[in-house]
Homo-oligomer: A and B are copies of this chain.
Amino acid sequence: MTLSEQQLSLIEEFGIYQENNGFQPAVARVMGLLLVSDRAELTFDDISETLNISKSATSNALNMLLNTGHIEYTTFPGDRKRYFRIKSSNWRDLFSKKMEDLSHLNGLLKRVMEVRKRENPIYDTKLNDFISFLDYMKNKLPDLIDEWEMTRK
């Protein structure tokens, strides 16, 4: 398993991106490696050796990614190794997560409006606008996704 300079730095960049999404550093690197490697499926030892992380860290990372549905594995008859790969169905989930997150934010902001009693309602208007904006987005996004599906056919 040798990787080009570009692959190595993409693993790091993607790793940092995923750290910001709440993944542990090593876990994020494993995702990066599975994403950029020329082979789609890698073994435990491929991953451990290529990324220079211990077996325990590798085990922990792979199990976490399996549990959260980010990766999966196949096996081959007469071969005890597991071959890990990114679960491609999960790409769309990255997008959905962001949208759900905005929905969560919107819920919080609606509660803020119920709870606080501002003597000066100027600031209320802005926040209400934003809430309505998020509501609008939430309604329209499914349509947008459908439209995109149509362009593919």
Q: What is A's interface to B at a CB cutoff of 8 Å?
A: 4, 6-7, 10, 13-14, 17, 20, 22, 35-40, 85-86, 88-89, 91-92, 94-95, 98, 101-102, 104-105, 108, 111-112, 115-120, 123, 126-127, 129-130, 132-134, 136-137, 140, 144-145, 147-148, 151-152
Contact B127 A88 (CB under 8 A): yes
> What's the dominant secondary structure at chain A's contact region?
helix
A38–B136 CB distance below 8 A = no
Which partner residue on chain B sits nearest A115 by CB separation?
Answer: B6
Residues A108 and B38 in contact, CB atoms below 8 Å apart: no
> Does A105 lie within 8 Å of B17, measured CB to CB?
yes
Q: How far is the CB of A27 from chain B (nearest CB, A)?
A: 16
- Chain B residue numbers with a CB within 8 Å of A117 are 38
What's the minimum C-beta distance from A153 to chain B, rounded to whole angstroms? Answer: 13
Residues of B within 8 A of A140 (CB): 144, 147
| A4-B115 in contact given A91-B126, A133-B148 (Cβ < 8 Å) | yes
Chain B residues with CB under 8 A of A101: 98
Are B151's CB and A116's CB within 8 A?
A: no
A127 to B17, CA, bound (A): 17
Q: Which residues of B contact A108 (CB under 8 A)?
A: 10, 13-14, 17
Q: Shortest beta-carbon distance, A134 to chain B, in Å? A: 7
Chosen A-B contacts, 10 in total, with CB atoms closer than 8 Å, are: A10-B111, A10-B112, A35-B116, A36-B112, A36-B116, A37-B116, A85-B123, A91-B126, A133-B145, A144-B144
